[in-house]
Amino acid sequence: MIDVVRLPLRRAPLDPPARHQSFGSRERRADSARKSRTAMQSIDDNRFGGAVMWLTRMAAASLVCLLMAACTETPAQPRDTTLPTGRWTGGGTCLSVAVDGCDLVVGCGHGQFAQPEVHADGTFAVSGTYRIEVGPISINPAPPATFSGILRGETLTLSVAPSDPSLRPASYVLQLITGTGKCAVPCV
């Protein structure tokens, strides 16, 4: 920051009184004093000119910053959100989405994953577990899997990539329905 030093204004001295003044010199001296006072008044009137100029510039700069900040993100710009809760079904596949997690049932296969955050472009990817079981339920933990998807309106394309090499990746197209609750696993 630059410090500004204000120097006092020098006033022009009045004519020194002459010993032998004539009538005209007194008038000249009074006229000179009037002009000097008028000049000083105009200087005093402008003493706030710098402050007004500074305030005007600061207000303009603030307005520009405010407009730039307002234009960086528009209300119409999509934002990240979570996958809508409810039941998603299609082609024998059922996905129940709740705040506490998601359950996927596909025939004898079932998977679980946390409710994903859907990016502004409609995509998501989340880790979970997936296995296919027929008969007695395994006491071993389910193998990991990656669940990814694309959400367009009320249509969800869900892909499952199990880490178990004996299981192939699969994709499902699901529609949101109004029902709630867990999907039934028909093979257990």
Q: Are residues 28 and 102 in the same domain?
A: no
> Domain of 143?
81-177
The pair phi, psi for residue 111, each rounded to 5°, is -135, 160
In a domain, 168, yes or no: yes
- Counting Cβ atoms within 10 Å, is residue 114 exposed (0-12), middle (13-18) or buried (19+)? middle
Determine contact, residues 147/140, Cβ cutoff 8 Å: no
Q: What is the CA radius of gyration of the chain?
A: 41
For residue 130, tell me if it sits in a domain. yes
124-137 pLDDT tens trace: 999 999 998 877 77
- Residue range 1-51, pLDDT digits in tens: 566 666 665 555 555 555 555 555 666 666 666 666 555 555 555 556 677
The pTM of this model reads: 0.57
Residues 167 and 130 in one domain: yes
* Higher per-residue confidence, 100 vs 53: 100
Residue-level length of the chain:
188
- For 184, the 3-state DSSP assignment is coil
Q: Are residues 93 and 112 in the same domain?
A: yes
**In the chain, how many domains are there?**
2
